């Protein structure tokens, strides 16, 4: 009879485990990445935009270069353009901007130019500036600012 009681209680316990859903606590160390972009601008005859990826207190800015619109019907695709890109990142009021200048070849497909990640304290404003020049056209940089919330 004891074996029967043990078997019945085990079966009851297993039945309760399958009825009651298991709830796992969400991980507390998961940090979401938020992406935001500034307004687009026209530089060197191309559409440009600067965007920011914010993860916690780390910000990574990147500039995007693409065609300003579709080519006219019957016209050939644009040729390869040599561009000189300038991407600056600055924690406003805390440090001078970090600037990288990089030559790139634009062949019609949208491309991204990334800056190194910057870490800033909570409440800081971080500014990204992206300029694109192509001889004889000078850069007309686009700017995007984000505030680090914690």
Q: Quote the pLDDT of residue 108.
A: 85
The DSSP secondary structure of 24-56, one letter per residue, reads PPPPTT---EEEEE---EEETTEEEEEEEEEET
Spell out, as residue ranges, where the chain has pLDDT lower than 70: 1-29
Predicted pLDDT at 92? 94
What is the residue whose two structure tokens read 């500039």? 63
Q: Which CATH class is domain 32-147?
A: mainly beta
Nearest to 65 by CA among 126, 130, 127: 130
CA angle 58, 46, 77 (to 5 degrees): 125
Q: What does the alpha-carbon distance between residue 86 and residue 103 come to, in Å, rounded to a whole number?
A: 9
For residues 98 and 60, the answer to whether their CB atoms sit within 8 Å is no
User: What is the per-residue pLDDT for 88?
Assistant: 97
Residue 4: its pLDDT value, please?
Answer: 46
Specify the pLDDT at position 120. 93
């Amino acid at each position: 009879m004891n074996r029967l009681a043990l078997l019945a209680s085990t079966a009851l316990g297993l039945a309760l485990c399958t009825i009651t859903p298991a709830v796992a606590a969400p991980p507390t160390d998961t940090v979401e990445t938020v992406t935001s972009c500034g307004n687009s601008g026209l530089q060197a005859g191309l559409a440009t935009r600067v965007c920011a990826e914010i993860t916690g207190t780390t910000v990574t800015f990147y500039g995007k270069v693409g065609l300003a619109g579709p080519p006219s019907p019957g016209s050939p695709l644009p040729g390869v353009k040599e561009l000189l890109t300038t991407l600056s990142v600055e924690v406003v009021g805390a440090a001078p901007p970090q600037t990288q200048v990089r030559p790139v070849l634009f062949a019609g497909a949208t491309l991204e130019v990334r800056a190194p990640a910057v870490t800033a304290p909570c409440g800081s404003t971080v500014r990204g500036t992206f300029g694109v020049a192509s001889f004889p056209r000078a850069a007309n940089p686009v700017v995007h600012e984000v505030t680090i919330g914690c």
